[in-house]
Amino acid sequence: MKLLTRLLGAGTRGRRGATMGHPALALVCRLALAAIFLYAGVPKVARPQLFLVAVRGYLLLPDAAVPIFTVVLPAVEVLAGALLLLGIWVRPSAAVIAGLTAMFLIAIGSAIARGIDIECGCFAGQTSRVGWSLILRDAAMLVALVPVLAARRHWLCLCPGSGGAGSSHKSALQTPQGGTE
Amino acid sequence: MRFSPGLRRPCGGGLAKNDSEGPVFREWIATCAKAALIVAAGAALGLGVNAVSPRGIPLRPMTLPTDFPPPNGAPLTDGYITLDFVAAIAADPGAQKDTVLIDARAAHEYQDGHIPHAINIPLTDFLAGRPARLGQIPRDRLIIVYCEDPDCGASVTAAEQLRLYGYPRENVRVFTGGFPAWVQAGMEVAFD
């Protein structure tokens, strides 16, 4: 926990944190993740029928929860992706995307463990079966989230105080909620 | 850490530790709260879009009636039909033309015996996407789906999928008794 705090929370003070949270690296990762989640989410919001079949294929949720999950998940993907793209509430939206990616990892991992051969449902219009390559892809997305979460400053950002903690340590001490949010 | 004249610290290591870690944890609590807000807003957005979208999906799945078999007198209520109705169709060549029977069980179960004229589209085919055989089924037909027993669920899931693929709600029915009810009633079984 301390390591995590040093790595992510105290980015500008520790050398390691400063490297991980460099605004340029954070920007590249942020835009890439935002693009991925918008690309994944928008078609699913537009055509939930296909995604419904994919969700049901995982056989993880009770029948009654499947349609609600099918409708809610893509919208959360789109909202978090859009906030990340615009640079509003960067850290909270990155945290949401981290949670989603972790959930995908668990779902895909459980499908592999149970030996069921199903459509991933990751991107509409693409047929990719659940397998280890998807585990690697999701793990890579989690790694890409680290610089976004660690950064104290963000370039090309609509809200300078975003990121959940203000843009500097000083502001974090004064207003833990973070500047203008 | 050695004392550095350039580093401003209030007084005492313990206090300094609290001073530096407290805000960090408060930041993370605030971050989590905002993340929860994003999820809640996303959920509201998704439900709202689904409600107004012409391609929205029904949020309440079909559920099997608890009082199986259903009360007599209304064979076509709530998406379910009884053995009598299926038997009446099977006995009437005219009605057969307007009706499609879908056996949603696995292929080997279908080969071991099925209702005459039923076609086999296993549930796994529905779960893998739109089954190709749906292309041969006109949308104005009455579609009756059955599986192994009232609790197997495959017929209900397949019926839901058919509705999602554009088959009118009133045309898609589930024969809840399934193949065992058919056999128990002494009806003809096909093996083709």
- pTM for the model: 0.61
Domain boundaries, position B161:
80-184
* A:148-167 residues touching chain B, CB 8 A cutoff: 164-165
Say whether the ipTM exceeds 0.85.
Answer: no
**B109 and B180: one domain?**
yes
B23, B42, B129 ranked by CB distance to A79: nearest? B42
Of B35, B39, B82, B37, nearest to B182 by C-alpha is B82
Q: Range with the lowest mean pLDDT among A13-22, A151-160, B81-90, B135-144?
A: A13-22
Let me know the angle formed at the C-alpha of B171 by B167 and B177, rounded to the nearest 5 degrees. 115
Kindly report the average pLDDT of chain A as a whole number: 79
**Domain boundaries, given as residue ranges, for chain A:** 22-154
pLDDT tens digits, B83-134: 888 888 888 787 788 889 999 999 999 999 999 999 999 988 887 778 889 9
- For residue A52, the chain B residues in CB contact (below 8 A) are 57, 164
pLDDT bin (cut points 50, 70, 90) of residue A160 is low
Closest CA–CA distance from residue B105 to any residue of chain A (Å)? 16
3-state SS of B92-131 is CHHHHHCEEEEECCCHHHHHCCECCCCEECCHHHHHCCCC
In a domain, B118, yes or no: yes
Task: Please report whether residue B157 resides in a domain.
Answer: yes
Q: B191 near B111, Cβ under 8 Å? A: yes
The domain total for chain B is 2
Mean pLDDT of A78-89: 95
Mutation site, A2, A6, A38, A49, interface B, largest B CB count within 10 A: A49
Do B158 and B90 lie in a common domain? yes
Q: Are residues B84 and B177 in the same domain?
A: yes
Q: What angle do CA A170, A174, A180 make, to 5 degrees?
A: 95
Residue B64 lies in a domain: no
Closest CA of chain B from A136, distance in Å: 23
Q: Are residues B108 and B152 in the same domain?
A: yes
Distance CA A50, CA B130 (A): 8
Size of interface A-B (CB pairs under 8 A): 129
Bridge partners for A100 per DSSP: none
Give the residue ranges of chain B where pLDDT is below 50: 1-17, 63-77
Is the Cβ–Cβ distance between A75 and B43 less than 8 Å?
yes
pLDDT at A98 over 50: yes
User: Other C-beta atoms within 10 Å of B129: how many?
Assistant: 14
Q: How far is CA B135 from the centre of its chain?
A: 21
A81 close to B (CB below 8 A)? no
